[in-house]
Amino acid sequence: MMNGNYSTIVIGAGSAGLTVAIGLAQRGKRVALIENNAVGGDCTNVGCIPSKTLIHEVAERNGHGDGAAILATVQRKRNHLRDEETEMVERMEHLDLIRGAARFVGPREVEVALHTGGTQRIGAPNIVIATGSRPRMIEIKGLPRERILTNESLFELERAPRHLAVIGSGPIGLEMAFAFRKLGSRVSVIAKDERVFNAGTPATSEALAASLAERGIDVYLRAKPTGYNHAFERLSLDVDGQPVTLDEVDYVLIAIGRTRNVDRLDLERAGVRYDPQQGIEVDGSYRTSVPGIYAIGDVTPASKWTHSAGAQGRTVVQRILLPWLPVSGSSTLYPNATFSDPEVANVGLLPDEIAKRYHPGLVKTLRVELRDTDKGYTDGLQRGFIEVSALRLSGRVLGATIVGPRASEMISFWTLAISQGISLYKLFRLVYPYPTLSGGNQKIADQFVRETLPNIGAEMRDVARYGLATIWWRLRGAEPAAVDDTAAHPLAAQTTYNG
């Protein structure tokens, strides 16, 4: 093991921390990477990888197959990847993996409570905090510990629950509700909101609600758990003020959101500003309030996914290696995907965010039902759509939502359009293979051009009128507020990756 003279200390070996540690070590910088648990963090061990393996395995078997064998496959594939990642990190030149819990003792120094016993103090000019998040918990009276599941224990199950109650209807809750239903469990979803997947558009919630019902998943809205009777395996709910009981519930999955890991770091001793709920305050280059200390990934308000953690990590690598190089704005445009059935993906601004920024007369919303594409017809698609909001006249894309098969793959098309400012007029000229669901993008551009060009005079008049109204509103300080550029699309900060 190398001693001292580190260029950078990275706390946390998850998606964010690994990106920085590996990125710097590959360029010859000496890095100390401190990890208190398993290398790979949440994504590899208790998040994306086991959840997506499970979703894949149940889809492959199309509702058949042995639940215990599928869960064993999930663990085997997860463990294999974790072992590979660990070995790669352990062998990497210029990188020391230190196993233990880190806390600050000053702005340039941390102390590690080593797994092997004792403590070690190390210092460096750069420190990157990448300590992630953990599941937010609620207490349910009478529910014993062994019946409670979170994403940290879910993938250790050896058999599918008989009746899984999922508290929360965000991405994690819904992904797991569909997966465990296909694994053979009875599944009930309990959500406090008016609709499932409350962070998405109402049309998205509608499509997911229809699919949940079709799969035989019971959904209780405006509902909360009130207690559990262990002897009878009975979960009591308050549903819109009415008592309801669910029988034979052997496990309860809590998926109601995330708590950022800021509390055990002694951030005060370094002077790093943070909010216990929102996480560590950072600027556009992920610098904290203390020069030389960065924060990235789930521990900040600006990230909730692996890809955003990775993008932030790459920015910090650039900041440390080439501090004079400007940070690219388009790397803050984070698409997101939920691997429910159907999949949901979106990028850019959601309709309610657009309404706060633009006069409604300036925006066109275009929508194509996937069943109206020829590929949707050949595949017998019942539901799913592409919905795009764009500025009238200029055709600049503001946001896109896709619900349907492989929405997670299809969304990148719109990420490119938004980040590069490619207007719908340009996309109108693009040719797609036939028949494909992405051919639906062509229908979106067709719709825009069809509605805009023949009425160009009226369009110009309207845009001038609503543009003036927007300027007037802004001068008076009323909504719609500042019209932002693509670099500042704040979707990641407003859409939660949580239950």
Ligand X SMILES: Cc1cc2nc3c(=O)[nH]c(=O)nc-3n(C[C@H](O)[C@H](O)[C@H](O)COP(=O)(O)OP(=O)(O)OC[C@H]3O[C@@H](n4cnc5c(N)ncnc54)[C@H](O)[C@@H]3O)c2cc1C
Q: How far is the CB of 360 from ligand X (least distance, A)?
A: 32
Closest CB 260 distance from ligand X, rounded Å:
9
Q: Which residue has the tokens 């509702």?
A: 63
Q: What is the sign, positive or negative, of the torsion defined by CA atoms of 240, 241, 247, 249?
A: positive
* 130 touches ligand X (CB under 6 A): yes
Q: Which 36-95 residues touch ligand X, going by CB under 6 A?
A: 36-37, 41-43, 47-48, 51-52
Nearer to ligand X, 7 or 15 (CB): 15
Cβ–Cβ < 8 Å for 150, 135: yes
Minimum distance, C-beta of residue 213 to ligand X, in the bound complex (Å)? 24
Q: Kindly state the smallest distance separating residue 116's Cβ from ligand X, in Å.
A: 14
Compare residues 237 and 296 and give the one whose CB is closer to ligand X. 296
Contacts of ligand X in 146-165 (CB under 6 A): 151
Q: How many residues make contact with ligand X (CB under 6 A)?
A: 37
Q: Please pick, from the candidates 16, 187, 196, 237, the single residue that binds ligand X as defined by CB under 6 A.
A: 16
111 binds ligand X (CB under 6 A): no
Residue 173 in contact with ligand X, rule: CB under 6 A = no
Nearest to 290 by CA among 456, 106, 149: 106
Residue type (1 letter), 346: N
The verdict on 211 binding ligand X (CB under 6 A) reads no
* Cβ-based nearer residue to ligand X, 172 or 388: 172
Among 288, 306, 401, 470, binds ligand X (CB under 6 A): 306
8 is a site residue for ligand X (CB under 6 A) = no
132 contributes a contact to ligand X by CB under 6 A? yes
- What is the DSSP code string of 151-213? HHHHTT-SS--SEEEEE--SHHHHHHHHHHHHTT-EEEEE-SSSSSSTTS-HHHHHHHHHHHH
Report yes or no: 166 and 187 within 8 Å, Cβ to Cβ.
yes
Provide the minimum distance between the beta carbon of 479 and ligand X in the complex, in angstroms, as a whole number. 31
Please tell me whether residue 301 binds ligand X under the rule CB under 6 A.
no
List Cα–Cα distances, 345 to 81, 97, 106, 229, 384, in angstroms. 26, 36, 42, 38, 11
**Of 161 and 480, which CB lies nearer to ligand X in the complex structure?**
161
| Of the candidates 333, 385, 396, 400, the residue with the CA atom closest to the CA atom of residue 362 | 396
Phi first, then psi: give them for residue 230, nearest 5 degrees. Answer: -65, -45
Question: Which residue of 10, 17, 253, 392 would you call a contact of ligand X, by CB under 6 A?
Answer: 17
Per-residue x/- marks for ligand X, 226-265, CB under 6 A?
-----------------------------------x--xx
Distant-in-sequence, close-in-space partners of 358: CB < 8 Å, separation ≥ 6? 391, 398, 470, 480, 483
Considering only 260, 304, 359, 392, the residue that binds ligand X (CB under 6 A) is 304
Are 445 and 430 within 8 A, CB to CB?
Answer: yes
Alpha-helical segments (H) within 259-323: 267-270, 306-321
Q: How far is the CB of 47 from ligand X (least distance, A)?
A: 3
Q: Select 228 or 497, whichever has its Cβ closest to ligand X.
A: 497
Cβ nearer to ligand X, comparing 150 with 452: 150
Residue 392's alpha-carbon distances to 108, 359, 400, 453, 483, in angstroms, are 51, 11, 15, 11, 14
Of the pair 43, 370, the CB lying nearest ligand X is at 43
DSSP string for 110-146: EEEEETTSSEEEEE-SEEEE---EEE-----TT--GG
97 binds ligand X (CB under 6 A): no
Q: Assess 407 for contact with ligand X (CB under 6 A).
A: no
Place of tokens 């102390």: 111
Residues interacting with ligand X, by CB under 6 A?
A: 11-17, 34-37, 41-43, 47-48, 51-52, 101-102, 130-133, 151, 172, 261, 264-265, 297-298, 304-307, 309, 497
